[in-house]
Every structure is written in structure tokens, then in C-alpha cells.
């Protein structure tokens, strides 16, 4: 018998339209999903039923639930291809309940609380040449290490415990030459592409937008891809950057007029390049994701680009931020599929995404408070939370996938901590 964790009382009819689950969806046992319906005005409660035989028989799963239009369900068995939900007098389309995709063996381990680098957030996080690379970052309270708020130092480690400063912070005073080295920055675009590490654009913290693109094969010496030229997709900050199909991609982002003067723009565009110099603007087909950015890391999974949540930053004329928890994917950047209209993890921005252990990951971030929840999915639809996260809530962290583990380093908690997650020995591999 399937059931929901819902309030129980006397039955009432209220729903006029069931939106989720939609026809043909597959929900995995143990994953969390919201049943959504359009509530009827003036009604205070609904009765919810479930069928696993295409409506031949029904089981009551909520005698009375508050008619707010949704309720979170932790899916339970049995497996069936002929499931329906009834809310009041309305029935959903036929959907499937599939076997669990949960991995209960993930465990976090503290590596160190005192890395040799100064605390920071928005630092680049790349895995290259068998090492983790921590690039730049932001800490306005630390005038010693961040005299101009952001830095351009580069640190490297193979084990997360021992770190080497490969490039010291040269972005310290007005004598800095931006033609010879990249300005300090945070929440820029970072990627490994064509056998090098890349920094793509930047932020407006210095009172102007950073239109430049840099690359390096050793982390110490950096070369500007377009000396003296601006990328055609500026001005922007908070964009999403991935390396996919032998091209470097920039998507979304926005301007921040309160920090660097510019017309307010919330981007919903897509650009890519084969060499970091010549950029092409794509023309995606509706429907696709709404204007957004503020997604750290990158997710390329099952030969597709994935966008997980994100949001927009407030501006003087648009003072309200947007927070999202939908999931989109594309194999070409033009045709997009909404894999999930909403996920069980809260809408958020400044979170980090990754692909690890054959799964998509979304973790930490900001949604009116810093968070420390960690979620994974084998298909972008069915999500599971890793319980008992031991590290402090944060946003704009630096996340690595390296040496068979998922690594969480620094962030807006402003500590020099390093943690890693892997399957426990008892859990084994699939």
C-alpha cells in the first residue's frame, strides 16, 4: 500500500486540476516528490487517494490535507506501471513507480578545518592534471589576503590536506597590470577545456565588468585568449559555464547596476566557442529555462548539459530575487527538456552542482538563508538527500570531484575547511 505523510481528518473535495504527477512520469521508491493540484477557492481540505492498478482500486492516503495545492510525498512501493493519484474528484494521468535509486552508503569525512589558504567564497574549483585547483575568491573582511576584496591566487592539492600555493595573489594595489595577469574575481566561469584550465569572465566588484577570458596549463602562468578585445556576450556576471562537446559554453547571468553601472539585463541566452576567441550565439527553441544564473560548478551528464535551479540577484529596479528548483537538460543547447518542474530541494541560488558516482548532485546554497543540504539523482527526476551533513551551512562553495570522492571546500561560512564524501566500505559499489 502506498501512502503519503499527510494530515488526517474528515474528507472534503477541493481540487480542480492535478498538475503533478504528469502522464508518463516515473517516480522512484524512496525519492521525494510534490503532488501538485490547483486548489479550489474557499475549500480548506482535500482527500487524496492512490491507485496502483490504473484506477480499478483506490487506497486512501490522506483523509484530509490542507488545500495549499501541494504536498511532499516520500514514495513507497510496490513497483507499478499503472499508478494514478486522485485529489478530490480529479485524477492524474497514468504514471509509474520504479525501483529505488537510493545509495544509503554515502559518508562525509572531515579532512581539515585549517587549510593553508585564507577563507573565501566564490573561488574557482577545477580538477586538472590529477589535482584540485582553488582559484581566486572573495573575502571583504580580510584586508591582508584580499586588499581589493577579491584575489587572484591559485592553490593546488592532490589529497585535500596538503595544499601548495602555485600562484600568489598579485592583485593587491593600483600597480597591478591587467594585461599581464587576470584581475581578482569570484563567481566567474571556470572550466577545463582543450587541455587547459580556463577562467571565463568575472564579476563587477572592481566597479566594471570583466570581459576577459584566460587559460593556463600549469596554474602559475596565465594567457589571455583575446588580448585587448572584449567577449561579445558582456557585460554580465553570475553566468553558468560548462565544457561540452569540445566547446566552451556561457549561459544566463545578469548585470548588477548597483555595483557596476550598466543597463539592467537578466540573461536567458546561450553562447559557445571552439577556441575561447570566436563566440557563437545560439538560438534555443521554446520552452527552455527562464533567465537565471548563480549556479556554481557544472553538470554534464548522460551527454547532456544540465541546469539545476539557480536564480537572479536583486537590482535597484527589480529588488526581489528569484529562486528556482527546476531541472532542465539539453544535448545541443537549442532543444531543452524540463526534467522536473520542481524538486524536493528548496529553490536556491549560489549553490553548487556536480556529477559524481554516476549521479547529479545539488548542494548547499542560499535561499533566504545559507544551507548545508546535499541531494543526488540518477536521472534528474528522482532526488534523495544525504542525511546528517556535518559541515556548516554556506553558499558559493568550491566543489571538486576528485580521487573517487566529492569534495566540499570553503564557501560563505568563511572557514578554511575541507570535507570529502564517498561511499563507505560497507556500502560498496553497484
| pLDDT confidence band for 299 (50 / 70 / 90) | very high
> Taking a C-beta distance cutoff of 8 angstroms, is the pair 243, 249 a contact?
yes
pLDDT of residue 400 exceeding 90:
yes
DSSP state of 293: B
Return the minimum-mean-pLDDT range out of 26-40, 196-210, 262-276: 26-40
pLDDT band at 3 (very low <50, low <70, confident <90, very high): very low
- The pLDDT of residue 13 is above 70: no
Give the residue-averaged pLDDT of 336-359: 97
How many whole angstroms separate alpha carbon 364 and alpha carbon 351?
Answer: 5
Is the confidence at residue 128, as pLDDT, over 90?
A: yes
The ranges assigned to domains in the chain are 17-98, 106-423
Average of per-residue pLDDT values in the chain:
93
Task: Please name the residues in contact with 253: beta carbons below 8 A apart, sequence gap of 6 or more.
Answer: 236, 237, 238, 239, 240, 267, 293
Q: Is the pLDDT of residue 429 over 90?
A: no
- The DSSP line for 99-148 is -----TTEEEEEEESB-SSPP-BS-EEEEETTEEEEEEEE-TT-TTT-TT
The rounded percent of the chain whose pLDDT value lies above 90 is 86
Q: What is the CATH number of domain 17-98?
A: 2.60.40.10
Residue 347 confidence (pLDDT) above 80: yes
Distance (Å, whole) CA 147 – CA 154 = 16
Chain segment 99-113, per-residue pLDDT in tens: 999 999 999 999 999
From 66-75, 176-185, 228-237, the region with the lowest mean pLDDT: 66-75
In 41-61, which positions are buried (b, 16+ CB within 10 angstroms) versus exposed (e)? eeeebbbbbbbbeeeeeeeeb
Domains 17-98 and 106-423 share a fold: no
Region of 327 on the Ramachandran plot (φ > 0 left; ψ -120 to 50 alpha; else beta): beta
Q: What span, in angstroms and rounded, lies between the C-alpha atoms of 239 and 187?
A: 8
Chain mean position to CA 156: 24
pLDDT value, residue 367: 94
Closest CA to 292 of 232, 348, 339: 348
pLDDT bin (cut points 50, 70, 90) of residue 2 is very low
Q: What is residue 45's predicted lDDT score, i.e. its pLDDT?
A: 84
Edge-to-edge order in the sheet of strand 124-128: 124-128, 131-138, 150-157, 164-167
Q: What does the pLDDT average to over 243-263?
A: 97
Residue 427: is its pLDDT beyond 90?
Answer: no
**Given this model, what pLDDT does residue 69 score?**
85
pLDDT above 70: residue 9: no
User: According to the model, what pLDDT value does residue 14 have?
Assistant: 41
pLDDT over 60 at 15, yes or no: no
Q: What is the pLDDT of residue 48?
A: 84
The neighbour count for residue 236, using CB atoms within 10 Å, is: 28
Closest CA to 423 of 107, 101, 100: 107
Predicted confidence band of residue 61 (pLDDT cuts 50, 70, 90): confident
Cis amide leading into 382 (omega within 30): no
pLDDT score for 5: 36
Query: pLDDT value at position 426?
Result: 59
CA distance 266 to 20: 29
Superfamily per CATH, domain 106-423: Kelch-type beta propeller (2.120.10.80)
Identify whether the C-beta of residue 422 lies closer than 8 Å to the C-beta of residue 160.
Answer: no
Mean pLDDT (whole number) for 156-175: 97
Amino acid at each position: 500500500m502506498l501512502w503519503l505523510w499527510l494530515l488526517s481528518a474528515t474528507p472534503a473535495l477541493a481540487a480542480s486540476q492535478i498538475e503533478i504527477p504528469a502522464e508518463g512520469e516515473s517516480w522512484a521508491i524512496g525519492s521525494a516528490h510534490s503532488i501538485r493540484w490547483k486548489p479550489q477557492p474557499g475549500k480548506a481540505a482535500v482527500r487524496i487517494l492512490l491507485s496502483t492498478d490504473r484506477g480499478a482500486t483506490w487506497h486512501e492516503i490522506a483523509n484530509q490535507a490542507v488545500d495549499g495545492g501541494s504536498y511532499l510525498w516520500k514514495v513507497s512501493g510496490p513497483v507499478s506501471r499503472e499508478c494514478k493519484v486522485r485529489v478530490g474528484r480529479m485524477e492524474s494521468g497514468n504514471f509509474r513507480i520504479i525501483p529505488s535509486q537510493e545509495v544509503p552508503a554515502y559518508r562525509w569525512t572531515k579532512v581539515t578545518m585549517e587549510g593553508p589558504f585564507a577563507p573565501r567564497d566564490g573561488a574557482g574549483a577545477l580538477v586538472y592534471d590529477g589535482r584540485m585547483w582553488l582559484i581566486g575568491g572573495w573575502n571583504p573582511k580580510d584586508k591582508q589576503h584580499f586588499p581589493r576584496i577579491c584575489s587572484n591566487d591559485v592553490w593546488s592539492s592532490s589529497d585535500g590536506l596538503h595544499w601548495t600555493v602555485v600562484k600568489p595573489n598579485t592583485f593587491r594595489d593600483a600597480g597591478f597590470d591587467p594585461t599581464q595577469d587576470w584581475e581578482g574575481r569570484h563567481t566567474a566561469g571556470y572550466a577545463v577545456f582543450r587541455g587547459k584550465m580556463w577562467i571565463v569572465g568575472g564579476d563587477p566588484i572592481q566597479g566594471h565588468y570583466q570581459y576577459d577570458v584566460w587559460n593556463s596549463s600549469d596554474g602559475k602562468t596565465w594567457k589571455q585568449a583575446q588580448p585587448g578585445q572584449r567577449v561579445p556576450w558582456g557585460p554580465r556576471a553570475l553566468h553558468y559555464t560548462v565544457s561540452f562537446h569540445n566547446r566552451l559554453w556561457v549561459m544566463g547571468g545578469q548585470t548588477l547596476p548597483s555595483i557596476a553601472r550598466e543597463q539592467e539585463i537578466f540573461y536567458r541566452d546561450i553562447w559557445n566557442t571552439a577556441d575561447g576567441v570566436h563566440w557563437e550565439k545560439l538560438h534555443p527553441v521554446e520552452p527552455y529555462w527562464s533567465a537565471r544564473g548563480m549556479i556554481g560548478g557544472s553538470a554534464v551528464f548522460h551527454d547532456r548539459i544540465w541546469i539545476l535551479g539557480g536564480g537572479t540577484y536583486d537590482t535597484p529596479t527589480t529588488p526581489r530575487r528569484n529562486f528556482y528548483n527546476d531541472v532542465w537538460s539539453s544535448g545541443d543547447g537549442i532543444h531543452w527538456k524540463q526534467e522536473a518542474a520542481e524538486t524536493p530541494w528548496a529553490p536556491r541560488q549560489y549553490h553548487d552542482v556536480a556529477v559524481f558516482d554516476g549521479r547529479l548532485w545539488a548542494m548547499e546554497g542560499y535561499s533566504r538563508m545559507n544551507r548545508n543540504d546535499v541531494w543526488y539523482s540518477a536521472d534528474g527526476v528522482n532526488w534523495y538527500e544525504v542525511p546528517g551533513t556535518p559541515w556548516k551551512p554556506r553558499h558559493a562553495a568550491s566543489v571538486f570531484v576528485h580521487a573517487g570522492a566529492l569534495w566540499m571546500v570553503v564557501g560563505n561560512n568563511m572557514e578554511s575547511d575541507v570535507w570529502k564524501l564517498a561511499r563507505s566500505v560497507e556500502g560498496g559499489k553497484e
